[in-house]
Amino acid sequence: MSKFKIPKATPPIILVGLTGSAVAVVFHHAINFIHHAIWHPLAHGTSESFILIGFIVLTLVGLANGWLLSHFAPEAAGSGIPQLKTAYRKNRGQISLRIVWVKFIAATLSVGGGLSLGREGPSVQLAGGLASVIGQKLKLSHFRIRTLTACGAAAGLAAAFNAPIAAVAFVLEEIIEDLNSRTIGPILLASFVSIVTLFFLQGTEPAFAIPPVESFNGWVYIAVPLVAALASLAGVGFQKSTLSWARKIRERSSLPSWSRPVVGAWINWAIACLVFYWVGRLGVLGLGHEDLTASLAGELTLISLIVLFIAKWFATSSAYAWGNCGGIFTPTLFLGAMIGGACGQGIDLGLGLDQDSQRLLTIVGMSACLGAVVRAPITSILIVFEMTHDFALVPPLMLAALVSQAISRSLCKENFYNQFLKDSGIHLETASSLRAQASWRNRRISAFANFDAPFLKSMDKDKVREKLNQYPDDLFPLLDADNQPSALIERTELDEFLGSNRKPRLHSPTLVYAEQTMQEIEDLLQKDPLSSLILVTRENRYLGLFSNQEAIRSKESENRMAES
């Protein structure tokens, strides 16, 4: 009986799940520690101290953001999901350790210090970045590093929301944009390891508590499309206003890049002071989980819901547009909750609506707003379901997802992240192109090799001259009497050999078998000094030549077929 062997790809995935969960947990606790240490005492102090110390805190946060992002890693600005998506789909999953530590510090200061941004996007970039660094340190192939980066993203989001299935769905829907991706196995494993690690480190509590919806009036289904539509329109408006503001700042602002985050911090401070003075809530500062939980519990008045909705929108837009560090995941959930809660209370005033039905509309608003912004309908359903474990919510959430996708796709060409990349001048490969590349890696090298490549059997000058006149090729394998490759010679070396008595330089050949796959020979091709490989039989007899040019042509051919 053969012994069971753990695949060599498994240990790195497990390591990525562990580190992704750990960094997300540390990040979460660091944010909460700073936020509670600063803003809770200020909320219970005098108005003067709240205004003055709050201004100092947010000014320092903006300055720290500006200095870190402009001097060390501009790629760490914003949510981090567009940057990770670019690394995955354009840069072979390559992310530097510098981006990871800058993201951790800047995002911790931003969200913990009171800027109206989320921690989920940074958690994805932090965990995905660490996964990439691990892959690079282990000297894995580019393909495996890219897979680890996606695994890290899932691990980070799973730990951030305590929602492992939604994390897998989000990576497939948003990062990879392919629900049939062959990387689903590694991503599932990383998400599983992450959530088990989270249970040991932090327990099973979700990111924020959603009270159970024990029963709701069947007539509320009539209100679900209306609430979903309003929440989706709010999400679309938030996306358009935020990205338009950010685009205008990049194009027109004369301020140096290090000073811009301070402007967003000042706007955030002014809005937070007005909200705290008016309704006595801190939801504009940081994540806003307490006010989000209060809205789900039905503890906020209609006026508070409307004020927090408007304030959160402008505070988040200003913080993001002016180049601070933080995500938009939680703010969009917050906006949707305020819309849903306000609609529920409005219907209650006119027609009467029980508390569970109002809570359902709040949850519908959250899911629809998130779905409209990130355009990941499965994620928007699963993330709420996993936080409530209430299957009764799934049908109305599905209806809300249908409405949100219809509105979002009719009013916006792209989702928030893809539009941000387009505005930044970054154009990524399509999902079909990536699928073609995955298919290309599993093809045998014999499908693309040049079996008609010329070769030399001796260094006789007359025969060499005849070969050079007959073939325009740049490389010529030199074979021995048994047709086994002994060297690879460049054309320029042969030209000099014919013009003088100087012996040509003989390059040691890299031999591969015709049945090997492109994935197996990819690293050999990159390491070979001439970027060329010689195909041989199992007896090392010459078959043909495969160069980097063949690799490029074969990739382009696969991509064209996929696009057509």
Predicted confidence (pLDDT) per residue in 228-275, tens digit: 999 999 999 999 999 999 999 998 989 999 999 999 999 999 999 999
Binned at pLDDT 50, 70 and 90, residue 1 comes out as very low
The pairing of strands 511-513 and 532-536 is parallel
pLDDT of residue 407: 96
- Is 126 in contact with 333 (CB distance < 8 Å)? no
Distance CA 380, CA 370 (A): 6
pLDDT at 491 over 60: yes
- In 364-482, DSSP assigns E strands to 475-479
Helix axes 518-527, 142-161, angle to 10 degrees: 110
What phi, psi does 218 have (nearest 5°)? -60, -25
Burial class (CB in 10 A: 0-12, 13-18, 19+), 258: middle
Distance CA 534, CA 445 (A): 11
**DSSP at 476:** E
Q: Which of 440, 466, 421, 404 is nearest to 552 (CA)?
A: 440
Question: How far lies 550's CA from each of 451, 518, 521, 525, 553, in Å?
Answer: 12, 11, 13, 11, 5
Domains of the chain: 10-428 (1.10.3080.10), 436-563 (3.10.580.10)
**DSSP at 486:** E
Q: Kindly state the average pLDDT of the residues 486-493.
A: 90
pLDDT of residue 267: 97
Q: Return the amino acid letter for 116.
A: S
Q: Return the amino acid letter for 38.
A: I
pLDDT of residue 224: 93
**DSSP at 392:** G
Q: Which of 315, 324, 374, 381 is nearest to 81 (CA)?
A: 374
Q: Tell me which of 129-138, 165-174, 431-440 is least confident.
A: 431-440
Q: Kindly state the average pLDDT of the residues 58-81.
A: 93
Angular region, 425: left φ>0, alpha ψ -120 to 50, beta rest: left
pLDDT of residue 412: 93
Binned at pLDDT 50, 70 and 90, residue 429 comes out as low
Distance CA 564, CA 559 (A): 9
Torsion sign, CA atoms 209, 211, 217, 218: positive
pLDDT at 347 over 90: no
Binned at pLDDT 50, 70 and 90, residue 328 comes out as very high
- In this prediction the pTM is 0.79
pLDDT at 562 over 50: no
- Is 216 in contact with 354 (CB distance < 8 Å)? yes
More confident residue, 523 or 49: 49
User: Which residue's entry shows tokens 């060499």?
Assistant: 464
pLDDT at 202 over 50: yes
pLDDT digits (tens, 9 = 90+) for 277-325: 999 999 999 999 899 999 998 899 999 999 999 999 999 999 999 999 9
Question: How far lies 27's CA from each of 106, 319, 325, 371, 525, in Å?
Answer: 11, 19, 13, 25, 40
pLDDT of residue 4: 57
Q: Return the amino acid letter for 34.
A: I
pLDDT of residue 432: 58
- Is 362 in contact with 395 (CB distance < 8 Å)? no
pLDDT of residue 101: 96
Q: Cα Rg for the chain, rounded, in angstroms?
A: 29
Torsion sign, CA atoms 325, 326, 328, 331: negative
pLDDT of residue 384: 84
pLDDT digits (tens, 9 = 90+) for 26-53: 999 999 999 999 999 999 999 999 999 9
pLDDT of residue 170: 94
Burial class (CB in 10 A: 0-12, 13-18, 19+), 485: buried
What is the SS3 assignment for 272? helix
pLDDT digits (tens, 9 = 90+) for 402-419: 999 999 999 999 999 999
Strand partners of residue 118:
327
Q: Tell me which of 121-130, 457-466, 514-523 is least confident.
A: 514-523
pLDDT of residue 437: 62
What is the SS3 assignment for 344? helix
Strand partners of residue 487:
478
- Is 278 in contact with 307 (CB distance < 8 Å)? yes
Binned at pLDDT 50, 70 and 90, residue 218 comes out as confident
| Cβ count near 563 (within 10 Å) | 10
pLDDT of residue 189: 96
Question: What is the H or E stretch that residue 261 is in?
Answer: helix 260-279
Q: In what order do the strands lie in the sheet with 532-536?
A: 511-513, 532-536, 542-547
pLDDT of residue 552: 61
pLDDT at 219 over 90: no
Distance CA 544, CA 546 (A): 7
pLDDT of residue 431: 59
Question: How far lies 228's CA from each of 19, 364, 509, 545, in Å?
Answer: 37, 6, 63, 59
User: Which residue's entry shows tokens 């811009």?
Assistant: 260
Q: What mean pLDDT value characterizes the chain?
A: 89
Distance CA 425, CA 100 (A): 23
pLDDT of residue 33: 96
What is the SS3 assignment for 489? strand
Angular region, 507: left φ>0, alpha ψ -120 to 50, beta rest: beta
pLDDT of residue 443: 78
